[in-house]
């Protein structure tokens, strides 16, 4: 099953819904960053939630989400731009914890919960929108759910999950979000609460081959799908962008790199691609800066 996302409406229960399958893009992130299983689970859950939240944006703004819970995984970040593409990273990819009682990947331990989840939406015009909430458990789903309630006053069920093989390969990843519309009644709420009791983990459903539509239909028989979009892990870095970044560090530093290191290598933090700059490349950048100052 390819990676994709659906959004829909359930008129009979006054809610809107999102569901996604993200197995390939999370495994792609795992390969780029060398993620250990708990890091794959943490970033994978965050990527699913980020992509669904991105599908809520009507204006295709750039959406940057940062989670830092003070745990060993460090800062986690995802960036989306309304086109189904996502890039992201974690501070320390080599973390692996499991819960003793269940053997499940201990995402909350890796992420920590002494910190915040921050969402920035940048339209490129006026001041960017910025919303920050304290983390609840560091398990990601709970934290996004709290964000929707605290920052957008929208009661939401957020379920995200990742299944990792013993070889470290990501074999299933996905999620769903249910958001109550203002017209929702007490009956609608109890219907959803009932359905969520003993609902199977989303990662198991994806692993069984259930599509995002089928997952939603398990909860709401009459869900109406209104949009489908394909999803990808893709970074937009390039040597040109790296060169622009280099030109901001100053002539003195660049000249040191030329004279002492005879070049430099820059790694993109979002995809781990490496860019080599020769002495010649660096001299060109210095020339450009000097000409720019004339």
Binding site for Zn ion (CB under 5 A): 235, 237, 268, 270-271, 273
Task: For 106, list phi and psi in degrees, rounded to 5.
Answer: -90, 75
> Which tokens sit at 273?
């691609």
Q: Which residue has the tokens 């960053």?
A: 33
Q: Which is nearer to Zn ion, 6 or 268 (CB)?
A: 268
191: left (phi over 0), alpha (psi -120 to 50) or beta: alpha
Q: Which residue has the tokens 């001299």?
A: 283
Q: Which is nearer to Zn ion, 206 or 242 (CB)?
A: 242
Q: Which is nearer to Zn ion, 60 or 238 (CB)?
A: 238
Task: Work out how close the CB of 232 gets to Zn ion at its nearest, in angstroms, rounded to a whole number.
Answer: 13
Task: Work out how close the CB of 192 gets to Zn ion at its nearest, in angstroms, rounded to a whole number.
Answer: 39
Task: Work out how close the CB of 193 gets to Zn ion at its nearest, in angstroms, rounded to a whole number.
Answer: 42
Q: Which is nearer to Zn ion, 62 or 217 (CB)?
A: 62
Task: Work out how close the CB of 95 gets to Zn ion at its nearest, in angstroms, rounded to a whole number.
Answer: 22
Residue 242's Cβ-count burial label (10 Å; 0-12, 13-18, 19+) is buried
Q: Which is nearer to Zn ion, 176 or 270 (CB)?
A: 270
What are the strands, taking DSSP E only, across the chain?
Answer: 4-10, 15-21, 62-68, 76-80, 85-90, 116-122, 129-134, 156-164, 170-180, 224-230, 232-233, 263-267, 274-278
Task: For 2, list phi and psi in degrees, rounded to 5.
Answer: -70, 165
Q: Which is nearer to Zn ion, 269 or 284 (CB)?
A: 269
Task: Work out how close the CB of 236 gets to Zn ion at its nearest, in angstroms, rounded to a whole number.
Answer: 7
Task: Work out how close the CB of 78 gets to Zn ion at its nearest, in angstroms, rounded to a whole number.
Answer: 13
CB contact burial 75-103 (16+ within 10 A = b; e otherwise): ebbbbbbbebbbbbbbeebebbbeeeeee
Task: Work out how close the CB of 221 gets to Zn ion at its nearest, in angstroms, rounded to a whole number.
Answer: 42
Tell me how far apart the alpha carbons of residues 89 and 33 are, in angstroms, rounded to a whole number.
7
SS3 for 142? helix
Q: Which is nearer to Zn ion, 163 or 268 (CB)?
A: 268
What are the strands, taking DSSP E only, across 116-155?
Answer: 116-122, 129-134
């Amino acid at each position: 099953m390819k990676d994709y996302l659906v959004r829909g409406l359930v008129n009979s229960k006054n809610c809107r819904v999102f569901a996604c399958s993200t197995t390939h893009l999370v495994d792609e992130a795992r390969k780029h960053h060398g993620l250990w299983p708990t890091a794959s689970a943490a970033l994978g859950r965050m990527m699913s939630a980020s992509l669904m939240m991105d599908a809520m944006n009507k204006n295709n703004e750039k959406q940057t989400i940062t989670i830092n819970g003070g745990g060993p995984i460090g800062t986690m970040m995802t960036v989306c731009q309304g086109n189904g593409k996502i890039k992201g990273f974690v501070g320390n990819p080599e973390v692996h914890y499991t819960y003793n009682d269940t053997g499940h990947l201990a995402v909350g331990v890796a992420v920590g919960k002494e910190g915040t989840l921050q969402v920035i939406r940048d339209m490129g015009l006026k001041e960017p929108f910025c919303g920050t909430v304290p983390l609840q458990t560091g398990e990601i789903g709970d934290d996004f759910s709290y964000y929707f309630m605290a920052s957008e006053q929208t009661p939401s069920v957020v379920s995200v999950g990742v299944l990792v093989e013993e070889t470290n390969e990501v074999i299933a990843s996905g999620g769903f979000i249910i958001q109550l519309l203002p017209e929702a009644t007490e009956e609608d709420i109890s219907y959803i609460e009932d359905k969520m009791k003993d609902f199977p983990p989303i990662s198991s459903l994806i692993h069984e081959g259930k599509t995002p539509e089928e997952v939603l239909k398990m909860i709401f028989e009459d869900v109406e799908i209104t949009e489908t979009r394909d999803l990808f892990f893709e970074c937009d870095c390039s040597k040109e962008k790296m060169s622009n970044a280099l030109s901001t560090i100053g002539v003195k530093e660049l000249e040191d790199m030329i004279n002492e290191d005879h070049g430099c290598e820059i790694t993109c933090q979002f995809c781990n691609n490496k860019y080599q700059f020769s002495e010649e490349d660096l001299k060109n950048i210095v020339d450009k800066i000097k000409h720019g100052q004339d």
